[in-house]
Structure 1
């Protein structure tokens, strides 16, 4: 059971069925209430009309015995005087409830009914005429009556009548509720039969529609399981030819798979390139040490030191790239770029060409150590390609702090200006490891810039060489 209702299709079907069932119950109750109220109102109207017809006869001073009363099975009638005595009633009335009295046979009136002083009716009858008034309002009650052996439920209307000769009277007349009961019973029976059938249809349609709608999800799930089992990130899940949420899910899944494939391939290339780059200095160092062990007089100490330094620098670069890929935060230290550049330049002792500066004080927020790596990599790159001059400048450009490093070398061709920021990429004229390094410096510099919320781009310097511009956001206080 838990597994069944763990299905989206089952939950959707159950939810739709419950909503429809609730709506049907509410709608059915409203229909029955409205139908009953309407038919009860019609019964009230019939009862009121019958009561007023009898009341008009009483106002016309017609004797009780001569009252023209409706048939009892259509509308049972009672006329009750001010003392609660039944003075007139429908023929064949055997039982009644819900009116002013349970009596069904008229008794003697407490006041003369026909104008006789002794109430015996033995004198001359008065001429008919209007001798009273009928109350405009009627009161309604529920009751029942048995007429000529037939019992039924009624709505009784009570109409007050004031006459000069007979005093205050109350006329009770009933309107049958048989039509109302029959209609309500028929409607209720129809609902009890129709509602379950309708609910079954809704549940079935919802089940089928949900299954059809979720069919792409099953295909996506199957393909993702196959991708997981095969570890083939080149595969893609099927995208339905629709514009709904499932199609967007499929597209997003494929985009995620593409990004994951790119990341894995990049990681594999990184590992392969790193292994290759590490193998060369290690092999060279091992060779020199083995030669030195066998022939100490042939040991190239300077070469071994250079290989060791290059190996150390490469290991440091690889570790920094690993930290950047892992999402290392840049930190929140405030760095004055002008003072920072002067300090870094003062520690460089092996530059091939002179470094000129044009520095303006501007602050940034970030990691001083990572920014030092960026500046060092840009200067090393400029030193390898410059003919006679390297220039470092700092300035502000709107909301940005700009650090620029330029040289007077041959520059970077436009078609290579993005490629040089890829890892382990060296241009053709800088392929040797002694001259061109491992191809990680510019990649590290751009990654650090991105982690600091900035950019690193290359263009053409005024002297014709390469111009690298590092743009970093200034601190919020400076922006204000």
Structure 2
């Protein structure tokens, strides 16, 4: 079974939505925490302000009845050093979070009998801060709790402020500020986020889906065209290039360049196969004819012609196999080859060939392939020379030396023939190409020798060029990097 298809557009949309979702959750959490912290701080400030207002009245020796204990229906307690509640808001019914649970001022005896725990709480709240009579403490203790006033129960933030009085000793004022605003604001913000975030994520997903669809539309066009090219095997077709000057446009351009190179390669292969078939057909047909005649009339057998056709066929097959290996990307060996000695061996036994070579001219490569290059160049020179062929091997300063400017090895093969016209100096290196003059003098050549020589030179990092000699003949120059 095939794996389920997941489009790039779907993955991009999912990824963008997840990233935005994580960002929104993080930002929303930070906003809620910041909002809650600010509102709690504001409630603490309001509670401290109320407590200090009552403490100011106590510092000026106001009676308990004259203190602002019922402002804005906020809970207020005044506790003495013994933890006894001496004053409180009139409608206070229950309170927690201040350390003193009493809501009604109590007689002194009652407070002492049952208020041991309250004493400890009051003493802990003022932390033993040393104050002068009429002085209000600088330190404020903040705590959270709840209170019931006139039947309504709410959460409060309490502030405890100590005050030293002249006639009533150390007193502590507890005043609370409601947290309803904090709870309401946080709940409202949370509700907005719970409703707004999904809507925002839906918008992000929709926009991402549309944008990626528009961005990937050219890619889909490229895919469809490539599928059509594959189905039709028509390498002359090209994919559309969008006018966007972006990565997709560069992808389309690169794809077309690849198709162009592939078309050229396939065309060369077809031409090579056709030319090879044509070249092989002649010697095979000639050899078959001779054998058929020999079978019917043994006395008419042309043995020399049969051997000649067989040798020609063998050489052509060897050339075709070598070209196939070169086209397949076969890398040459990395052996050290003495080019001067190789030139002497290639010229040995050839009539009219003279060799002038410097000593120890070495290159790195395949000895067999370089030997084939020199042999092909000598065959070509002897085929077109009038009387003499000269081979020279030397070291030369050129672009193929070490570091791009060192010594290069140069092997030149010159003949005294008619030379190569300037217009044909590149054509002769194409496969199965033979000039008219060559055809009249060619004794069985297939037009592959020079093509093989140049291919081998290029794969060894060198060059093979042709120009005229001063005497008018052809000069083939092989230049290779020095070892």
**TM-score scaled to structure 2, two decimals?**
0.88
Deviates more, 1:251-260 or 1:394-403: 394-403
Q: Write the distance in 2 (CA, Å) between the matches of 1:236 and 1:149.
A: 84
Show the counterpart of 1:353: 352
1:353/1:386 contact within 8 Å kept: no
2:353/2:391 contact within 8 Å kept: no
Show the counterpart of 1:107: 106
2:144/2:157 contact within 8 Å kept: yes
Q: Find the residue that maps to 1:431 and give its secondary structure.
A: helix
Counterparts of 1:28-427 in structure 2 under 5 Å? 28-71=28-71, 73=73, 75-108=74-107, 131-346=133-348, 349=349, 351-394=350-393, 395-398=395-398, 399=401, 400-427=408-435
Q: Write the distance in 2 (CA, Å) between the matches of 1:467 and 1:436.
A: 23
Per-residue CA deviation, residues 322-351 of structure 1 (Å, 9 max, x unaligned), is 1111121211211111222222322xx3x3
2:384/2:441 contact within 8 Å kept: no
Q: Find the residue that maps to 1:135 and give its secondary structure.
A: coil
Deviates more, 1:253-262 or 1:134-143: 134-143
Cα displacement (A) at 1:252: 1.3
Show the counterpart of 1:15: 15
Q: Find the residue that maps to 1:430 and give its secondary structure.
A: helix
Identify if the C-alpha distance between structure 1 residues 456 and 221 changes in structure 2 by more than 3 Å, giving closer, same or farther.
same
Show the counterpart of 1:450: 458
Instruction: Name stretches of at least 5 consecutive residues in structure 1 with no aligned partner.
Output: 111-129, 476-480
2:336/2:362 contact within 8 Å kept: yes
Deviates more, 1:76-85 or 1:364-373: 76-85
Show the counterpart of 2:24: 24
Cα displacement (A) at 1:3: 6.6
Cα displacement (A) at 1:50: 0.9
Q: Write the distance in 2 (CA, Å) between the matches of 1:64 and 1:378.
A: 126
Q: Write the distance in 2 (CA, Å) between the matches of 1:429 and 1:282.
A: 25
When the two chains are superposed, the root-mean-square deviation of aligned CA atoms in Å is: 2.1
Q: Write the distance in 1 (CA, Å) between the matches of 2:465 and 2:23.
A: 64
2:76/2:89 contact within 8 Å kept: yes
1:362/1:396 contact within 8 Å kept: no
Cα displacement (A) at 1:315: 0.4
Per-residue CA deviation, residues 340-393 of structure 1 (Å, 9 max, x unaligned), is 2222322xx3x3532332334222111111111111111111112222332222
Identify if the C-alpha distance between structure 1 residues 86 and 436 changes in structure 2 by more than 3 Å, giving closer, same or farther.
farther
What is the count of residue pairs matched by the alignment? Answer: 451
Show the counterpart of 2:445: 437
1:469 aligns with 2:471: no
Q: Write the distance in 1 (CA, Å) between the matches of 2:184 and 2:251.
A: 56
Cα displacement (A) at 1:433: 7.7
Per-residue CA deviation, residues 178-204 of structure 1 (Å, 9 max, x unaligned), is 112111111111111111111111111
Q: Write the distance in 2 (CA, Å) between the matches of 1:418 and 1:12.
A: 53
Cα displacement (A) at 1:234: 1.0
Identify if the C-alpha distance between structure 1 residues 385 and 92 changes in structure 2 by more than 3 Å, giving closer, same or farther.
same
1:402/1:470 contact within 8 Å kept: yes
2:383/2:441 contact within 8 Å kept: no
Q: Write the distance in 2 (CA, Å) between the matches of 1:109 and 1:436.
A: 137
Cα displacement (A) at 1:431: 2.1
1:396/1:402 contact within 8 Å kept: yes
Cα displacement (A) at 1:4: 6.5
Q: Write the distance in 2 (CA, Å) between the matches of 1:235 and 1:293.
A: 53
Q: Write the distance in 2 (CA, Å) between the matches of 1:343 and 1:152.
A: 112
1:337/1:364 contact within 8 Å kept: yes
Q: Write the distance in 1 (CA, Å) between the matches of 2:3 and 2:142.
A: 58
Q: Write the distance in 1 (CA, Å) between the matches of 2:277 and 2:388.
A: 35
Instruction: Name stretches of at least 5 consecutive residues in structure 2 with no aligned partner.
Output: 110-131, 402-407
Per-residue CA deviation, residues 431-464 of structure 1 (Å, 9 max, x unaligned), is 2583471111111111112222222222333333
**TM-score scaled to structure 1, two decimals?**
0.89
Cα displacement (A) at 1:131: 2.7
Q: Write the distance in 1 (CA, Å) between the matches of 2:287 and 2:5.
A: 67
Deviates more, 1:11-20 or 1:245-254: 245-254
Identify if the C-alpha distance between structure 1 residues 62 and 222 changes in structure 2 by more than 3 Å, giving closer, same or farther.
same
1:81/1:109 contact within 8 Å kept: no
Q: Write the distance in 1 (CA, Å) between the matches of 2:478 and 2:46.
A: 96
Identify if the C-alpha distance between structure 1 residues 165 and 461 changes in structure 2 by more than 3 Å, giving closer, same or farther.
farther
Per-residue CA deviation, residues 380-413 of structure 1 (Å, 9 max, x unaligned), is 1111222233222222324132222222322222
Q: Write the distance in 2 (CA, Å) between the matches of 1:39 and 1:439.
A: 95
1:426/1:436 contact within 8 Å kept: no
